[in-house]
């Protein structure tokens, strides 16, 4: 499958080029009839909005951490999971990974790759946060630098779960479906 095709989201031109309609929530593929067309358009706008909100959150989170990698290294180290040199390496790397994945969602390039990476990151954050709580560590997640310093554990959890839900939905919608007639 061509790179362009993989990079695209379900509401892209490539779907039409395939000649097969895919029953995705944000498909703009309805041909005749004003109501289905309206539904498809509304659905497209909705999913694009989710795309942009998720992208914005990750770009913001990445930028804040990229500006202060020393603090982020300390935040990672507070989880007491990784040795310090690994925490430092991740403090330099993860913010940029978040930024590039966020940009990929905005510009719809390398789209599914970005969704996969971000989903994996959120799952890791979620597990690490819960593990820290279970071990009795009273720490800040460091997800949004200083902005998240006073967030409670339920707030972290709620945000992570909301992001995970949004990413899962986007992943599901971006997965190519077999043609209905097949």
Partner 1 sequence: MRSSLVRQILILAVLALVPAVGEAIYFRHKISWRSAILPSEMVTVDQARAWGENVVWVDARPDEEFARDHVPAALSLNEDRWNELLPQFLAAWSPGKKIVVYCSSLGCNASREVARRLRREAQLPDVFVLEGGWEGWLKTR
148 touching partner 1, by CB under 8 A:
no
27-49: b (≥16 Cβ within 10 Å) or e: bbbbeeeeeeeeebeebbeebee
Residue-level length of the chain: 182
180 touching partner 1, by CB under 8 A:
no
- The footprint of partner 1 on this chain (CB under 8 A) covers a number of residues equal to 34
3 touching partner 1, by CB under 8 A:
yes
Q: How far apart are CA 95 and CA 161, in angstroms?
A: 20
Residues from 63 through 102 that contact partner 1 (CB under 8 A): 66, 69-71, 73-74, 77-78, 84-85, 87-89, 92-93, 95-97, 99-101
Provide, rounded to whole angstroms, the least separation between the CB of residue 42 and partner 1. 29
Q: How far apart are CA 44 and CA 17, in angstroms?
A: 18
Of 116, 128, 130, 153, the residue at the interface with partner 1 (CB under 8 A) is 116
Which residues would be at the binding site for partner 1 (CB under 8 A)?
Answer: 1, 3, 6-7, 66, 69-71, 73-74, 77-78, 84-85, 87-89, 92-93, 95-97, 99-101, 104, 110-114, 116-117, 176
């Amino acid at each position: 499958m061509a790179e362009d095709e993989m990079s695209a989201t379900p509401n892209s031109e490539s779907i039409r080029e395939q000649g097969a309609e895919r029953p995705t929530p944000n498909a703009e593929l309805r041909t005749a009839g004003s109501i289905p067309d309206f539904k498809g358009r509304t659905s497209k706008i909705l999913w694009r909005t989710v795309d942009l909100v998720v992208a914005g959150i990750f770009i913001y989170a990445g930028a804040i951490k990229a500006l202060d990698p020393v603090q982020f290294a300390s935040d990672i180290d507070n989880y007491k999971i990784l040795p310090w040199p690994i925490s430092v390496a991740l403090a330099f790397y993860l913010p940029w990974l978040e930024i590039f994945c966020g940009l990929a969602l905005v510009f719809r390039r390398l789209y599914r790759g970005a969704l996969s990476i971000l989903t994996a990151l959120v799952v890791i954050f979620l597990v690490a946060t819960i593990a820290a709580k279970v071990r009795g560590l009273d720490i800040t997640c460091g997800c949004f630098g200083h902005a998240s310093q006073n967030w409670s554990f339920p707030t972290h959890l709620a945000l992570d779960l909301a992001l995970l839900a949004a990413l899962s939905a986007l992943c599901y919608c971006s997965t190519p479906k077999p043609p209905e007639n097949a």
